[in-house]
Structure 1
Amino acid sequence: MDSEKVEIIIDDIIADEGLISDADEIPELRDMIDSWILSPAIYAILVGHGITLEYLKILDEKALNDISSVSKWTGHKHALRRKLMIWPDSVLFHESTIRNDEEVESCSSAVPAYLKLANSVSVTTGLLEDILVRNEKGKIVCKYYKSHQYLDNVNRRALSHTVVDYYIANQLHFTLPDMAKFAKLISLRFPPEIAETYYNPRDISANKKHPSGLLYDRFHNRSKKDLGKRIRDKVADHISNVKSSALELPDKEIERLSTVKNWLRNNIAPEERIRQHWAESFLLRFRNIQQDKNSDKRTILNDWPRITDENGYLLIDTDFNHLYNTSERLETVFDCWERFAVDFIDYARISNIKDHYSIQLLDTLSESYILISQDTRDYILCTIFHAIVKPSRTSARKLPTIVQAQNDVCCIIDTYEEYREALISIRKEHESANIQLSPRIYAIGHTQSLDSFYVVTQFLEYKLPTFLRCLDVVVKLKFVLDFEFPESCELFWCFICQFFYDINSSRKSKNSQLLQLLAFLKARQK
């Protein structure tokens, strides 16, 4: 009991600023605590534990817990932590802002792993000067400033590009504390420039919850661009390696995988074992697909009948993930679609749409946006696409109509019975003409009320939960089973592949209408 009483007395003494001697006073630390409008007890606690202003800068979570270990000081600890997390000179600022930055960026652009792992640099006036004199943009900025004693917007951007390009070129991660230091150095080197122009840890005026400024924005955009190219190159290399590995499978491995293949042909359960064997046999299956010359995929579907099962599209997912190494990708169509929907509607409203049906659909979207279902909205977006990016001529030099392109993406049928009749009819038509029935979507119901969704080919039929999932499955069928998209709506599928999957799938990817749309959407993402 006595020891407990002594401990409480000691804690109270530590928190009493009146007991701090003149010799122990740290004016800079007191000014900092006062400027943060914190309790004087916090200053007393810090001084009692020998914390100076310099020590405060490197105070991490463990040290903070050590000096506030008593429960009665918990509130003081949290108050101090909140201030440290927004103080650029603090270790906790570095940790918290990087974490918050990653949370904000998680759906759009992560910094490449090799940049995160790279060593940091010592940000000094000398480094800034060295960057400026070694870079042509930097020299131009300095020359402009010498003549005018200020920087205009063009030279501000050039200055931020110069600094960021130094980090990118040296494969260094431009940390937020480094940005804060460079912003301060720039303001000193080029008065009357202010640091917040180049780095603002929390842009409250713009209601932003993440950092802003020329340095931050430039690094964000460059990192995203470089990461996208790195991923595309890596995926291309991966696909090339997959093709080589599949075609060069040793005879013993083909024999072993053929045993797995036979098991898959003769079993529909258990599901877990099917997925395990499916992943294991990917190279053999990919080899078979490359060797299958039948446009209707009859051979490959007979050899691997699980694809035709009710949930066969889940196996298509697995093969697509293997083929395109999707673990490297930042986003999927499901992550990006909501942001795209808002931007595309804006684009549609400023486009000169002349197709009457598309105009009606756009009006429906504008008048009843909140009331219509998400599937209806998504169907409308994809349908009016063809009135904005109009169909181009096919290989037979025929010019498809907008209506034909719309129906070849998704055809709406009133009832299930009528859908079955339409499916039988189109399959017979393609079989008699000996041409491939490309993957397409059928929806049952009416525009305002779509009930069921199907993706079909000559021998495949998948019932899917949403219209968006149908788009996803059609794309994956193209690249997993080597189907072709219908030529009438090739531009639409080219857009879906390029914008959402980062796959350039068509010779028509340079279509001027398509490029205008992509430029608009990418500008909206910045």
Structure 2
Amino acid sequence: MNLFYQESRVINDKSSLHKRIPASGLIEHRLKYLRRKHKAGATSKSKDFICLMSESPSEDEYEKKSWLSYSSTPLYQVAEYMAETFRLRSEELRNTDNLSVTLSQWPRLIDTPGMIDQDFSVRYPGKQEIVLHKWDSISKQILKFAKKTKLDVCREIGITQNINEWSADQINVGSLILLPYLLSKSAYTKGSKKRRKITGGQSADFFIKFIKTNEDLEEFRLSESVRKQPFVLCLGNLKNLEIQQAYIMVERRLMLAESLVKAVDTCFKIFYVLQLQFPEECSGVWCFFDHTVFQTNEIKSPTSSVLSLGSQIDLEERPNENLLV
């Protein structure tokens, strides 16, 4: 049984394929080059996508898919072939009835750093680094909003340190922990005769799952059967806001992230790259990132709690201490 798959849907029909580029340079240079190309061509991507998707995948694309199935180096070649097979991969992900099998046919998408970002940048040129560039400022604005709500969230979560004494690193982490509690006020389950309100704690557990450092990560990976969509997994101490390691878990595959912020950033992008729905338990959190942070314009009717918090976020605000007043 495929425990992690939920029927996919088309989220965005406005993607374009990378053009062929010279096979040279380090992978990060390659990705920067691709990002510039996509940003420059953003205005005409709708027309390009229609023309692109009207064509059948070429034999060359299938051959490069085969190469990617067996090769993980050199990294610049992986980045180039992944770019040139974007159309084929998107088509297969959109039409799959078994996501786990399809991902196994595209292993580099999950096990090679930067490939999720690269595919996301095709769909949304210029938006792939917003969280990493803006989170210092956004996190302080979330904290300021949380203080105004007068909710005793920290006590409910079990965080021991006073919120007014958080360090900059604790604010970056703590603001993410607070989000499900700030955005669950208008969250309800759907598709049943009797709607059930989703609590902040339930939403938080589906957004970021904390496990103790002495727990067996591999055992958790194999036994988890509750969360069907991608989610963030952390090893650390929630009470002290200490993160030792952060992962994204998708279809029983673990992707190591450099930080909790990067894990959340990547997890959000995975929903769009794999063309999945947000889980209803924490949809408010992901809708906040969609509507307020990335501003993809995919969420047409955000909940009142998302709009309320979003109205307090200024992406152009600098991360200075005045935000905490």
TM-score bracket, normalised by the shorter chain, equals 0.7 to 0.9
Q: How does 1:265-276 map to 2 (within 5 A)?
A: 265-276=69-80
Distance of 1:330 and 1:484 partners within structure 2 = 19
TM-score (norm 1): 0.48
Contact persistence 2:292–2:313 (CA under 8 A): no
Q: How does 1:104-253 map to 2 (within 5 A)?
A: 238=45, 241-242=48-49, 244-250=50-56
Residue equivalent to 1:502: 295
Distance of 1:507 and 1:394 partners within structure 2 = 19
Mapped pair 1:304 → 2:101: no
Distance of 1:352 and 1:240 partners within structure 2 = 49
Distance 1:523 1:262, change over 3 A: closer
Residue equivalent to 1:322: 122
Residue equivalent to 1:477: 270
Q: Which amino acid aligns with 1:407?
A: D
Q: Which amino acid aligns with 1:382?
A: L
1:468 aligned residue (252, 261, 284): 261
Distance of 1:453 and 1:409 partners within structure 2 = 13
Q: Shift of the alpha carbon at 1:477?
A: 0.3
Distance of 1:245 and 1:404 partners within structure 2 = 44
1:350 aligned residue (136, 139, 148): 148
Distance of 1:249 and 1:524 partners within structure 2 = 41
Segment of structure 1 superposing worse, 440-449 or 387-396: 387-396
Contact persistence 1:499–1:518 (CA under 8 A): yes
Q: Shift of the alpha carbon at 1:459?
A: 3.6
Q: Shift of the alpha carbon at 1:356?
A: 5.7
Q: Which amino acid aligns with 1:377?
A: I
Residue equivalent to 1:424: 222
TM-score (norm 2): 0.75
Q: How does 1:387-402 map to 2 (within 5 A)?
A: 387-391=181-185, 392-396=187-191, 397-402=195-200
Residue equivalent to 1:364: 162
Distance 1:258 1:417, change over 3 A: same
Distance 1:245 1:415, change over 3 A: farther
Mapped pair 1:405 → 2:212: no
Distance of 2:103 and 2:315 partners within structure 1 = 43
Distance 1:352 1:304, change over 3 A: same
Mapped pair 1:489 → 2:289: no
Q: SS of 2:235's equivalent?
A: strand
Residue equivalent to 1:382: 176
1:53-81 residue CA offsets vs partner (Å, 9 max, x unmatched): xxxxxxxxxxxxxxxxxxxxxxxxxxxxx
Mapped pair 1:451 → 2:244: yes
2:85 aligned residue (270, 277, 281): 281
1:384-424 residue CA offsets vs partner (Å, 9 max, x unmatched): 22222225112132222211111111111112643333222
Q: SS of 1:264's equivalent?
A: helix
Mapped pair 1:256 → 2:56: no
Q: Shift of the alpha carbon at 1:440?
A: 0.7
Q: Report which of the two has the higher share of helix.
A: 1
Q: Shift of the alpha carbon at 1:314?
A: 1.5
Residue equivalent to 1:518: 310
RMSD in angstroms over aligned alpha carbons?
Answer: 2.9
Distance of 1:354 and 1:418 partners within structure 2 = 32
Distance of 2:61 and 2:316 partners within structure 1 = 48
Residue equivalent to 1:34: none
Contact persistence 2:86–2:119 (CA under 8 A): yes
Contact persistence 1:412–1:444 (CA under 8 A): yes
Of all paired residues, the percent bearing the same amino acid is: 20
Distance 1:330 1:505, change over 3 A: closer
Structure 1: tracts of 5 or more residues without a match: 1-231, 431-435
Distance 1:465 1:276, change over 3 A: same
**Which structure carries more relative contact order (alpha carbon 8 Å, separation 6+)?**
2
1:177-222 residue CA offsets vs partner (Å, 9 max, x unmatched): xxxxxxxxxxxxxxxxxxxxxxxxxxxxxxxxxxxxxxxxxxxxxx
Q: Shift of the alpha carbon at 1:241?
A: 4.1
Q: Which amino acid aligns with 1:441?
A: V
1:149-188 residue CA offsets vs partner (Å, 9 max, x unmatched): xxxxxxxxxxxxxxxxxxxxxxxxxxxxxxxxxxxxxxxx
Distance of 2:90 and 2:297 partners within structure 1 = 20
Mapped pair 1:341 → 2:139: yes
Contact persistence 1:494–1:508 (CA under 8 A): no
Q: Shift of the alpha carbon at 1:237?
A: 6.6
Residue equivalent to 1:440: 231
Distance of 2:131 and 2:306 partners within structure 1 = 18
Contact persistence 2:221–2:252 (CA under 8 A): no
Distance of 2:51 and 2:105 partners within structure 1 = 20
Distance of 1:272 and 1:485 partners within structure 2 = 32
Q: Shift of the alpha carbon at 1:239?
A: 5.4
Contact persistence 1:358–1:387 (CA under 8 A): no
Distance 1:507 1:442, change over 3 A: same
Distance of 1:381 and 1:340 partners within structure 2 = 9
Contact persistence 2:211–2:236 (CA under 8 A): yes
Distance of 2:147 and 2:271 partners within structure 1 = 31
1:270-292 residue CA offsets vs partner (Å, 9 max, x unmatched): 11111111111111111222221
Contact persistence 1:412–1:443 (CA under 8 A): yes
Q: Looking at CA atoms only, which structure, 1 or 2, has the larger radius of gyration?
A: 1
